[in-house]
Amino acid sequence: MERIELRPYQRAAVDALYACWTEGKGDHPLIVVPTGGGKSVILATLCAEALEWPGTRVCVVTHRAELVEQDARAIQRMVDEPVGIYSAGLGSKDRSRRVTVSSIQSIYRQAPNFDPWDIVIVDEAHMIPPRANARYRRFLEEARLQNPKLKIVGLTATPYRMGEGLLHEGPDALFDTIAYEIQVHTLIREGYLCEVISRGGIRKIDTSGVRVRGGDYVASELARAADDPDVTRAAVAEIVKYGQDRRGWLIFAAGVDHANHVADEVRRYGIPTAVVTGNTPASERKRILDDYKAGRIRCVVNVEVLTTGFDAPHTDLLGMLRPTKSPVLYVQMVGRGMRTAPGKTNCLLLDFAGVVAEHGPVDQVRVRGRNSKNGAVGPAPTKECPECQRILHAGVRECPDCGHVWERGAPELERQAYSGAVLSFQSKIQTVDVHRMEMRKWEPLDPSKKPSIRITYFTGLRQIHEWVCPEHTGFARRKFEERCRNEWRIEPPATIAETLALQDRIPVPKRIRVYPNKDNPKYLDVIGREYDNT
């Protein structure tokens, strides 16, 4: 059994769930953590701690066999008894364990054939459809008949459904509250997630003639509209141009033919590329994704497959060639690039589908509920400056970068390529030049806390500080080690003194990216550094 050290917010999520139950705030709460934030660790911790109570039984249910396998592995690392898998797709129907991980397709009629569960955890809870006769609802109703005191927990990065609103609101909601939620920008600022920067394609897919049904484009019509040879050639040329120094390219296509045509165009540039669709056999899909994660394939083009549960942290370029009206799909696609990896400073989103303009920043998407007209998504809170292509809030009248002024009632100009905000906080990021850097030991005022190193960047008239922690443990030490290996190109020293002795080997960044401190905006937090070789 492996004892995993939880990140502070992961521990907070688990504790918030317990508080929700003990304080009577809700029996069926949601935990909302962004894609890449480690929901499987939270899930595994819930299972491991539940098993500490004699006789407690837990069922984890999700919608894909790959997620069943992933969740079972995560739980098994943290418990000292076998975890049962009930999934036809994985060739296992084990009913005998205190923790069972299952696909909804296999278990939705089987609740009466299991001993009653005390807790059911739904991974990717936004996949539960609203229909009363759907598999999830049938399964959960039968599980509640077996145990009227059953607790239901939902884990998701997107606590809403298109046309239905938030998952815990409305008369038919399965969940009754949000026990814990943490925002994307918080995890990025704290170093747990990677920033995604966006740039729009000069050529974009024309969806003007594509009908909308059920909250998104009609799939067959969208596939035909997207499969425009001129757009494909232009888009791939930009992907190749901007992806030269990026290791893992993940492209979202609108249909099988479209995906194959995109892949063929990428291969013309000599880039090892593969296609994954719903028709790809499981064994071939596994081989392709293993090759992608190992770097043997640089580019994967997919159709409606790699949007949930796909973990390839090195992915640092997303090619959006799949327009969508669905905020859930939009957020899930962008989330594929947010995981951190050694040497990865950000992920570039190249948007040829207009999804950033459609939905706005991923941490500010707005969803209307069933009582809204057509269940439509609210208007995106951003607009693009026609002069410098910066993405700004829709209410801004003057661009702070180039001074462009929007006249009231003036027609919108044709959109060009942009370098804009896929995250709300990016509009407040500044990039400043560094003239010199100084490192000194820093003694905290609280004597119970360990000392650290304060790095001071001299940026003209202003000094900006950040701290590294060679002598700490846990995440702070891991961040220091990553900085040493990925940016400073040295083996991590064990102490502050050893680190300071190596100052002449530590490179000074040319520029730093800074953001106002969340507690005191007059101070700036360093969120990125740019060196000569980047």
| Reported pTM | 0.72
pLDDT(337) > 70:
yes
Mean pLDDT of 425-435: 79
Q: What is the DSSP letter of 435?
A: -
Please tell me the distance from the alpha carbon of residue 469 to that of residue 484, in angstroms, as a whole number: 11
pLDDT at res. 367: 62
Q: What is the pLDDT of residues 371-394, one digit of tens each?
A: 444 333 343 344 555 554 444 445
Mean pLDDT taken over the chain: 85
Strand partners, 87: 92
Please tell me the distance from the alpha carbon of residue 437 to that of residue 427, in angstroms, as a whole number: 26
pLDDT(210) > 50:
yes
pLDDT(188) > 70:
yes
pLDDT at res. 407: 55
CB 486 within 8 A of CB 343: yes
Mean pLDDT of 99-108: 92
Name residues whose C-beta falls within 8 Å of residue 391's C-beta, 6 or more positions apart in sequence: 198, 356, 382, 383, 384, 385, 418, 420, 421, 426, 427
Residue type, 212: V
Instruction: Residue 505: count other Cβ atoms within 10 Å of its Cβ.
Output: 9
> Mapping DSSP to helix (H, G, I), strand (E, B) and coil, where does residue 275 land?
strand
- Report the interhelical angle of 256-267 vs 219-226 (nearest 10°): 20
Please tell me the distance from the alpha carbon of residue 292 to that of residue 277, in angstroms, as a whole number: 15
pLDDT at res. 282: 85
pLDDT(101) > 60:
yes
Strand partners, 420: 198
Domains in the chain with CATH codes: 8-182 (3.40.50.300), 194-426 (3.40.50.300), 430-530 (no CATH)
Most confident of 134-143, 233-242, 398-407, 475-484: 233-242
H-helix or E-strand spanning residue 238: helix 229-242
pLDDT(254) > 70:
yes
Residue 288, token pair as written in the block: 């392709």
Better pLDDT: 305 or 218: 218
CB 7 within 8 A of CB 182: no
Q: How far is CA 465 from CA 76, 212, 457, 476, in A?
A: 42, 50, 6, 16
pLDDT(406) > 60:
no
pLDDT(190) > 80:
yes
- Report the interhelical angle of 8-22 vs 39-50 (nearest 10°): 50
Local confidence band at 144 (pLDDT 50, 70, 90 cut-offs): very high
pLDDT at res. 143: 93
pLDDT(98) > 90:
yes
